Amino acid sequence: MFRRAAGVVLVLMGCGSRTGLRDEHRDAPVDVVDASEPIDAPNAPDAPDAPDAPDAPDAFDAPDVPDVFDAPDVPDVPDVPDVPDVRDAPDVPDVCMPVADRCGRSEVCGNGLDDDCNGRSDDGCRCVPGEVQPCFEGPPGRRDVGACRDGTQRCLAVGQWTACEGGISPQPDVCNGQDNTCTGCLTDLGCPILCPGPGDPRVPDGRPFAEYPLRGGLFFGGRAVAWRWTVRGGPCDQLVTMGSFALTSPDQRDAVFRPSLSGDYTVTLSVTLPDGSALSCTFVVHIAGPGLRVELCWDRSNDVDVDLYLHRPGSTAAWWSSVGASQPTQDACSWANCEAVIRGELPDGRPMPRADWGYGRSALSECQDGPHGPTWRMLGFCGNPRLDIDNNLSKARGTPENINIDRPRDGETFRVMAHNFTGTLTHPLVNIYCDGRLYGTYGAAPDLVRGFAATGGFARGAMWRAVDVTTRVNAAGETRCELREVHPPGATSGYDVTIDNVRF
């Protein structure tokens, strides 16, 4: 503990007054967005002019309006591949044929669909606790049609799926440029607000730590008296005080969203018109970091220090050489050997070598906008593996913690462990993202990790071995993951939490 505290002080002295993630956000240059980011891709539309343009209602017809506004004007666009029961006469070509709902008599398991159209996807199906799957809680035929978009559902410890959360399911239609009913028939002509659906170039994928401009003028070109942006994030955002993102100028036409984690973020824009009426858009922004991203958060991230460890594949060495050891072994990536500044020490007092598992270093673009960006820029590379955020209550608090491997190899297995450094009882939560998709979440309510506290001060204390992650990387470099939750030795369920036991 003392050694580590001293290390923290050194870091602070050596690297200036970086007192927390929030300060990092404030200090970041406003124009960080550069041409390499997807937001500014060449085909991204420009924001229409200021909202007080004299011919505001006609703004969408202006010649410089991006093409995307014209897309919804085509009434016959929806491609209806298989409509088994065509009720309308075939001699009415101008009437849009809604997609078939494809409701069945029974639920089909494992597809994330509500096959029997009872309002719940994969209800009654068995699943592996902790796993997460994409899901859609509308009629199966409307999945990915119009505004509809998948959410995710996670498997509870009882082996059943939660409700589908975070997606967009069919809604009564409102005039907003979207096919809200998700039937493939868009009737939204001349609407005052034009909301984006999946795949819309106005809402490209983003990357962790990169600023994501939210430009209200892309969606509403009329006169407004008030703007309001809200963002809802992933599983950790229900737990940590600072959340997985920062949102600046949320009451302006143009706001900036800055995510620190992979995953799907639900963004809502609300616009108040001069007559007091309101319009709104809700859409999903996908933030995709490459490779494997392990994220840890806990419910007392302001006053309890928990540390994330990722074990080197091909080794089952203990996490520490002994219960009384002051430094972890080098077979894991952690605060000791994976941050921009190395804080771990060898027995002779020299700094621990940086974790190197043979992947090569990553380009600066992977980490330079993160909380340790200035130090990584001085080094000229991003570590790989790398600990991007260490919530250690001095440099950062109220944040999640995460470890990334930007380019993992195929077929390697990594064990994820959380260590309660402070010792005070808290409930940790681990999320596993691969190529930006959430594959698993462990420790979320109601399946809290129990007994994650240690008496007796700063011995090795409470450790939770959460999950073994096996990476599947194809020839194109795409990463999928297979997860196996870790249970106590000999058990087939339950969390593997130990006190003062440093075994793998």
Q: Which is nearer to Ca ion, 206 or 221 (CB)?
A: 221
Smallest distance from the beta carbon of 339 to Ca ion, in angstroms?
Answer: 11
What's the closest the beta carbon of residue 148 comes to Ca ion, in angstroms?
Answer: 12
Q: E-strand spans in 401-461?
A: 401-405, 413-420, 428-434, 437-442
The answer to whether 20 and 397 have CB atoms below 8 angstroms apart is yes
Q: Smaller CB distance to Ca ion: residue 121 or 471?
A: 121
Q: How far apart are CA 343 and CA 13, in angstroms?
A: 13
Query: Using CA atoms, how far apart are residues 215 and 45, in angstroms rounded to an integer?
Result: 10
Q: For residues 421 and 442, which CB has a smaller minimum distance to Ca ion in the complex?
A: 421
Closer residue to Ca ion, CB minimum distance, 116 or 482: 116
285: tokens are 């922004």
Tokens 């406003």 sit at which residue? 30
Q: How far is the CB of 380 from Ca ion (least distance, A)?
A: 26
Measured at the alpha carbon of residue 99, what is the angle toward residues 96 and 104, in degrees to the nearest 5?
150
Task: Decide if 148 contacts 170 (C-beta within 8 A).
Answer: yes
For Ca ion, the binding residues (CB under 5 A) are 107-108, 111, 113-116, 118, 120, 122-123, 173, 176, 178, 180, 188, 305, 307, 391-392
Taking the least distance from each CB to Ca ion, the nearer of 328 and 436 is 328
Q: Are 463 and 418 in contact (CB under 8 A)?
A: yes
Contact 234, 261 (CB under 8 A): yes
Q: How far is the CB of 211 from Ca ion (least distance, A)?
A: 25
Closer CB to Ca ion, residue 114 or residue 211? 114
For the CB of residue 109, give the shortest distance to Ca ion in the complex, in Å.
6
What is the rounded distance in angstroms from the CA atom of residue 334 to the CA atom of residue 337?
A: 6
Taking the least distance from each CB to Ca ion, the nearer of 307 and 447 is 307
Minimum distance between the CB of residue 305 and Ca ion, rounded to whole angstroms?
A: 5
Least Cα distance to 292 among 305, 307, 306, 311 occurs for: 311
**Alpha carbons 64 and 408: distance in angstroms, whole number:** 44
For the bound state, the minimum distance from the C-beta of residue 382 to Ca ion, rounded and expressed in Å, comes to 20
Amino acid type, 225: V
Q: For Ca ion, give the closer residue by CB, 384 or 399.
A: 399
Q: Which residue has the tokens 């995709």?
A: 288
In the complex, minimum distance from the CB of residue 245 to Ca ion, in angstroms, rounded to a whole number: 19
In the block, tokens 């010792």 appear at: 423
Q: Which is closer to Ca ion, CB of 90 or CB of 457?
A: 457
Take residue 354 and report the two structure tokens written for it. 């940086």
What is the DSSP code string of 159-212?
S-B---BSSB------SSSS-TT-SS-----S-SB----TT-TTS--B-TTS-E
Closest to 368 (Cα-Cα) out of 39, 28, 35: 28
CB of 50 to Ca ion, least distance (A): 26
Q: Minimum distance between the CB of residue 161 and Ca ion, rounded to whole angstroms?
A: 9
d(CA 497, CA 356): 28
C-beta closer to Ca ion: residue 1 or 50: 1
CA distance 436 to 205: 10
**Distance of closest approach, residue 90 Cβ to Ca ion, in angstroms:** 27
Q: Provide the 8-state DSSP code for 222.
A: S
- Pick 110 or 477: Cβ nearer Ca ion: 110
CA pair distance 78, 24, nearest whole angstrom: 46
Contact between 178 and 279 under an 8 Å Cβ cutoff? The reply is no
Q: How far apart are CA 140 and CA 302, in angstroms?
A: 43
The torsion angle over the Cα atoms of residues 423, 425, 431 and 432, rounded to 10 degrees, is 40
Cis? peptide before 385, omega within 30° of 0: yes
Nearer to Ca ion (CB atom), residue 53 or residue 109: 109
**In whole angstroms, how close is the CB of 176 to Ca ion at the nearest point?**
5
Q: How far is the CB of 492 from Ca ion (least distance, A)?
A: 25
Please say which residue, 37 or 173, places its beta carbon nearer to Ca ion: 173
CA distance 133 to 127: 10
Q: Please state, in angstroms and rounded to a whole number, the distance separating the CA atoms of residues 225 and 276.
A: 8
